[in-house]
């Protein structure tokens, strides 16, 4: 009887461990996607600034505040 109980506990622990790993991988992928989006947005902002687009247009397209765009523009000059 005790052996069956130990076996069940081992199976439940293994299942929890696998679920934890799967959740960690899923969260890591989501974080990577978000970081990729931010990098892409930064590259897009830099390109728009380099093309001389008006700050209000860049703000509207990217969702950034004009102040944030001005700071980025100053670092590029």
* pLDDT attached to residue 61: 92
What residue spans define the domains of the chain? Answer: 2-76
Taking the complete model, does pTM exceed 0.75, yes or no?
A: no
Q: What is the pLDDT of residues 3-32, one digit of tens each?
A: 777 788 888 788 888 898 999 999 999 999
Spatial contact of 66 and 59, defined as CB atoms under 8 Å apart: yes
pLDDT tens-place string over residues 34-67: 999 889 989 999 999 999 999 999 999 999 999 9
DSSP states along the chain? -HHHHHHHHHHHHHHHHHHHHHHHHHHHHHHHHHHHHHHHHHHHHHHHHHTT--HHHHHHHH---HHHHHHHHHHH-
Phi and psi, residue 17, nearest 5°: -65, -45
Do the beta carbons of residue 49 and residue 76 sit within 8 Å? yes
């Amino acid at each position: 009887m005790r052996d069956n109980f130990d076996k069940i506990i081992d199976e439940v622990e293994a299942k929890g461990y696998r679920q934890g790993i799967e959740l960690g991988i899923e969260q890591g992928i989501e974080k990577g996607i978000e970081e990729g989006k931010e990098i892409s947005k930064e590259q897009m902002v830099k390109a728009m600034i380099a093309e001389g687009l008006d700050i209000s247009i860049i703000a509207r397209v990217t969702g950034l505040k004009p102040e944030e765009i001005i700071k980025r523009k100053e670092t590029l000059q």
